[in-house]
Amino acid sequence: MARPGSGLLVPMNGVGYPPQNLARVVVWEWLNEHGRWRPYSAAVCHHIENVLKGDARGSVVLGQVDAQLSPYIIDLQSMHQFRQDTGTMRPVQRNFYEPSSAPGKGVVWEWENDNGSWTPYDMEICVTIQNAYEKQHPWLDLTSLGFCYLIDFNSMSQTNRQSQRKRRLRRRMDLAYPLIMGSIPKSQSWPVGASSGQPCSCQQCILVNSTRAASNAILASQRRKLYGAGNSGAPGTLGGVRQSNTFAGTSLWSPTSSSSGANHNNISAGGGQSKAEQVQSPLSSANFPCSPVMPSLSSSHGHHALTINGQNNLNRPGTQRISMGTTRGAIPPGVPALPVKNLTGSGPVHPALAGMTGILMCAAGLPVCLTRAPKPILHPPPINKSDMKPVPGINGMRRKTKKKHLKRGKNPEDVVRRYTEKIKVVPDEDCTICMERLAMSSGYEGILQHKGIKPELVGKLGKCGHMYHLLCLVAMYNNGNKDGSLQCPTCKTIYGEKTGTQPPGKMEYHVIPHSLPGYSECKTIRIVYDIPAGIQTNEHPNPGKKFSARGFPRHCYLPDNEKGRRVLKLLIMAWDRRLIFTIGTSSTTGESDTVVWNEIHHKTEFGSNLTGHGYPDPNYLDNVLTELSAQGVGEDNLKD
């Protein structure tokens, strides 16, 4: 598409805070290991804002809106994202943009990575690209934003100025980010304080609140001087700070009467104002015999000073260490009994969280007694083969897939015509495949030629009504499995029977005489997947190259009730359509060219839920039904 006008050099102005009492679009972002703020999707941001309206100091479980983010929790008090399975914590922030900007319109700019999938730009860059695109600049130089890339809108490509490597880029429409009205906070950190009510006692909330306690402990230890030399009070007097609430609704440090010492620490927590408070808290190992006694690294008159630079070093290497004396007094009654003491057998805390919590609490001078972390119960007790029974209502106990288990469709033109109808009056919109206007010829003109389909023809998909160039739909079909099905690139509606690229293997399923946690009234359906290593074919990322198959056979579990059997029937259907697994890069190990799950979650932990892949989980069956439906395997496919 020809774009008149001159190119654009981006000024170094960044994104500032907006004026007060105006409508603004909210984008939540997290800080990656390269120091770049990466935006959450619009759907996740809407979810965070909804939680924020109910409890500005609460916690957000991201897996409730995006299954791929199930290990992550955001603590709105400390403004950190916590990963449950590894204990990794990252800062998050709440940013604001104009309603007319890219996030306000639901516009997403993405570049094609080495795996052939699409990665969104940082939001600041996305806004800049969209501004240049709307002004019809033919190119955009990102050098002043810290990237040696040149964006060419005519070829929809990104060129590295140093290596001259080109990558494709695209512009697509998605859900618009949330819009807020009224006063915009000046700080992206939330003020801390007490909250009313008791937290939920479920496993998820215990985990969240334990994380918050650990986070508060380390933040407090960095912002106050322990046993400060300048205090005129007793050596055990602490310079107190207003602290955020933690587990069980109590505070880490109970404020008492202020000391008359002049060396107070005036801390502004989360951008708010805070008075200097003194806390009487001598720590005694006699009252906590299981507390580890840390040797004194350096001592002077029995007390030690901690130098604070005023910054949050939680995620930085070389975080300041605190040396503790061997004499400790009694912990004040406000100190919570965190569940890191209960790690034998059925403790509710994940091992990664327990280890991290222990380290942080030791640094803050809190009593910690860690025992051996519990191990997940992955498998049931040994079962005789005679005890394995067929699943009621399902024929057989095994499924196999061969190398070519696909239904090949007819030629691409016939498939596209089958699911579309021609449009005579073309609207003034973009084709989201080639990014050309629908009123103009397809961007694939001259690249792709098919008899009977002219580049200017536009079609509307039957179910969802989205419109594209017919030639673009043909190009998209040729780039997929060519299985006779189409999937709308905008709303993901599936036309026909979608199949995947799952390698050959076998699936077994049977009933075992044991119950899952939360389903004591019924037995258990066990599914066993087994896929051997092999050679990739033309439908895979690297044809002719070997692929690995780690962790097979994989055992998965469902309750043997009506809903569990319904899920099993759909999983069998998804297996037959080769949708359960695919070949790609493992999100756990980072290994490429290996067999990985294909966006249909399974429960692989039989008797516990320490990894997040076990029971009890009252929402799992509904969630997996939704994931199956997104793959075109819905309950309407089941025969009565």
Provide the residue count of the chain.
640
Helix, strand and coil in the chain, % to nearest 5? 20, 20, 60
Contact of 543 with 536, CB cutoff 8 Å: yes
pLDDT of residue 373: 53
Cis peptide before 616 (omega within 30 of 0): yes
Strands 467-469 and 486-487, sheet pairing: unpaired
What pLDDT is recorded for position 633?
92
Query: What was the pLDDT predicted at 289?
Result: 35
Q: Give pLDDT, residue 402.
A: 60
For helices 562-576 and 620-630, what crossing angle results, to 10°?
30
The pLDDT value recorded for residue 183 is 59
Would you state the pLDDT for residue 115? 78
**C-alpha span between 342 and 249 (Å, rounded):** 19
Nearest alpha-carbon partner for 285 in 332, 329, 341, 236? 329
Q: Pull the structure tokens for residue 7.
A: 């190119």
Task: Give the closest residue to 121 by CA, choosing from 205, 44, 27.
Answer: 27
> What pLDDT is stored for residue 129 in this prediction?
94
Q: How far apart are CA 195 and CA 144, in angstroms?
A: 44
The rounded Cα 497 to chain-centroid distance in angstroms is 29
* Six token digits for residue 296: 């004194």
DSSP letters for 557-603: EEESSHHHHHHHHHHHHHHHTT-SEEEE--TTT--SSEEEE-S----
| pLDDT, tens only, 593-624 | 999 999 899 999 999 988 789 999 999 999 99
What sign for the dihedral angle of Cα 15, 18, 24, 29? Answer: positive
| Tokens coding 220 | 């407090």
Can you list the residues of the chain whose pLDDT is less than 70? Answer: 1-21, 182-374, 402-410, 639-640
* Structure confidence at residue 478 (pLDDT): 84
Question: 378 is written with which tokens?
Answer: 């992955």
CA dist., res. 518 & res. 522, Å (int):
10
- What pLDDT, on a 0 to 100 scale, did the predictor assign at position 468? 94
Q: Is the peptide bond before 18 cis (omega within 30 degrees of 0)?
A: no
What is the pLDDT, as a whole number, of residue 199?
Answer: 45
CA angle 605–609–611, rounded 5-degree value: 80
What is the DSSP annotation of 539-550?
TSSSTTSEEB-T
Query: Tokens 């890069």 sit at which residue?
Result: 585
CATH numbers and ranges of domains, the chain: 24-180 (3.30.720.50), 412-482 (3.30.40.10), 506-637 (3.30.390.130)
Provide the pLDDT for residue 408. Answer: 53
Per-residue pLDDT, 590:
81
**Where would I find the beta strands (DSSP E) of 213-284?**
237-240, 277-280
Q: How high is the pLDDT of residue 55?
A: 82
User: Whole-model pTM above 0.85?
Assistant: no
3-state SS, residue 230: coil
